[in-house]
Structure 1
């Protein structure tokens, strides 16, 4: 209007009934969302969509919330609603299989929650069967040759740190002891380890090891998997994000891929239960705040 009719700003605002202060307003904040959104609209929208696609291609089980956390780490100044809108427009929504039974079991009344790293660990040794078939509450896996393997999973319930992912063809009590001793020599011994009633965990070898190291074995009640809910929830993520995404050619190949995924889980993957931090950062902050450090 100003260029066509040679009007002043005041005259143009009066004709259109537009407030001159609104016309002259400029955001003074360097990271103002309005300024950033304009920059995205000018050419960054395609780049943002491409980056979201790249993240979802490498992390196929990540929803829009974790994708948004990774984008903010990289410096994208967008809100979660925009990430969700683009995520849905690209058709990247996940379809979760809801369990048929939803029974909440009562936990032990005298059970104490973890208050620091290495306070309470959760552990399980799931049976190994076909990689692409899911039965019950177990993590199923096999090599490309068809030979079944078993993976011992151990997690710190406070920091969500994953000390060990140890695949073997078979597991006995002495194998569990050997794996735990290897892990504890460089990260320390936990106060309590929550385990189920599996034959590997009720063996004399593990009982003797726990007695000598001052570790308490907290057994879950038969038929009550929610007594060890942390490891049950982790095994579901482990199955979806790792086992279903890889094909193992040999036991050594499985150990290598599981170790790479374990490092990514501990050092890069955001965890909603600990404020979208990574377990390593939480452990470092706890050690820094400790009076003994």
Structure 2
């Protein structure tokens, strides 16, 4: 523009001056409308400001687009590559953006996005077995399900079972119980610990009702060392005489234990019960009143009985309750994996094999209540 002004001052026409600098008249007049009256340093500064303004506009648009991508993405943290991959596909389809642009926001690498997940050949069969066991044993966690799968003959890792467990939404949340003060008296399970089988037995009552609303009681007796449920007596009413009758049968079959732990219920502190237990050579260990956690082994068993059986069954008659509860007791002793025993049952069934039998006759299907699974092949001479 300054050169054109000089040529015009020398007597040239505007058209001749424009042709001499090698631009069109449209370009010249556009420059004149934009930069007329500005010096070269001012024009340079103006161009820098325009470039900065364009950069800021791009940054604002990028931030707005990132906000839109995050808003469209799934709620919560995208921790696993699978969730990131699904999120990128969803956002790209909804906002019509490129894969490169969407992967930049959640920090997903493009090679990870394009990787095709490879599953083992037995993934579908294993998933079906896990779901079947979860439906059968609704309150079991993935560790016990893993133990049952291994007993059935599957070589499976507990981490793989956990991954499938979480993917299928099979996790069962448990409420955190309130805990009280542990007084640690001589009858608590902390001071008096079982040291061998038949050392400490514990027993307690559990109440439930049949479909007609009538209550029945259960007397649970267990060996604290082996975690085996020795007996469950079910009846409408259980008195001190019934407690003595049940204990006498078990003493004849298994011998007299060193201690018998219980709470301070009227059936346990009755004079007849205490005198009879002392007469046969056993000792009583009473917990502190109002401190059920001191009888922790039996209370834990009672909670398993409630959670895995009583809360999911409707009993129409007392006889039905006696049969079903006895089947569950056998299942608990011979099949159910126990976490404190390395996920083995407390008293697995011992099978004496004849010479014409082999381990190939073992039924690999999941065990049912009342039909204990012969999960291990043991032979005694």
TM-score bucket of the superposed structures, by smaller chain: 0.7 to 0.9
Cα distance in 2 between the residues matched to 1:240 and 1:202? 28
User: Is the 1:104–1:226 contact (alpha carbons within 8 Å) kept by the matching residues of 2?
Assistant: no
Deviation at 1:108, TM superposition (A): 2.2
Deviation at 1:283, TM superposition (A): 10
How do residues 163-182 of structure 1 correspond to structure 2 at under 5 angstroms?
Answer: 163-182=230-249
In the other structure, the counterpart of 1:118 is 198
Cα distance in 1 between the residues matched to 2:181 and 2:137? 30
1:206-263 per-residue CA deviation (whole Å, 9 max, x = no partner) reads: 1122022111110111122122111111111110011112111111111100100000
Structure 1: where are the runs of 5+ without partners? 1-37, 129-140, 285-293
Compute the RMSD of aligned alpha carbons: 2.0
In the other structure, the counterpart of 1:151 is 218
Cα distance in 2 between the residues matched to 1:278 and 1:87? 22
Structure number with greater Rg is: 2
In the other structure, the counterpart of 1:69 is 147
In the other structure, the counterpart of 1:24 is none
Q: 2:183 aligns with which of 106, 109, 119?
A: 106
In the other structure, the counterpart of 1:194 is 261
- Report the TM-score when normalising by structure 2: 0.58
In the other structure, the counterpart of 1:56 is 134
1:158-198 per-residue CA deviation (whole Å, 9 max, x = no partner) reads: 00000111111112111111111122222222111101000
User: Is the 1:107–1:226 contact (alpha carbons within 8 Å) kept by the matching residues of 2?
Assistant: no
User: Is the 2:335–2:348 contact (alpha carbons within 8 Å) kept by the matching residues of 1?
Assistant: no
Displaced runs of 4 or more, over 4 A:
281-284
1:42-67 per-residue CA deviation (whole Å, 9 max, x = no partner) reads: 2x111101111111111111000100
How do residues 32-47 of structure 1 correspond to structure 2 at under 5 angstroms?
Answer: 41-42=120-121, 44-47=122-125
1:107-145 per-residue CA deviation (whole Å, 9 max, x = no partner) reads: 22683311111110111113x3xxxxxxxxxxxx10011
CA, structure 1 residues 98+236, in 2 after alignment: closer, same or farther (shift >3 Å)? same
Cα distance in 2 between the residues matched to 1:278 and 1:209? 32
In the other structure, the counterpart of 1:82 is 160
- Report the TM-score when normalising by structure 1: 0.74
Cα distance in 2 between the residues matched to 1:270 and 1:184? 27
Q: Confirm or deny that 1:278 pairs with 2:348.
A: no
Cα distance in 2 between the residues matched to 1:190 and 1:113? 13
Once structures 1 and 2 are overlaid, which stretch shifts more, 219-228 or 59-68? 219-228
Q: Confirm or deny that 1:91 pairs with 2:169.
A: yes
* Number of equivalent positions: 231
CA, structure 1 residues 95+160, in 2 after alignment: closer, same or farther (shift >3 Å)? same
Cα distance in 2 between the residues matched to 1:77 and 1:116? 33
CA, structure 1 residues 267+194, in 2 after alignment: closer, same or farther (shift >3 Å)? same
1:267-292 per-residue CA deviation (whole Å, 9 max, x = no partner) reads: 001111112121114999xxxxxxxx
Where relative contact order (Cα < 8 A, 6+ residues apart) is larger, the structure is 1
User: Is the 2:150–2:156 contact (alpha carbons within 8 Å) kept by the matching residues of 1?
Assistant: yes
Cα distance in 1 between the residues matched to 2:216 and 2:148? 33
Deviation at 1:265, TM superposition (A): 0.3
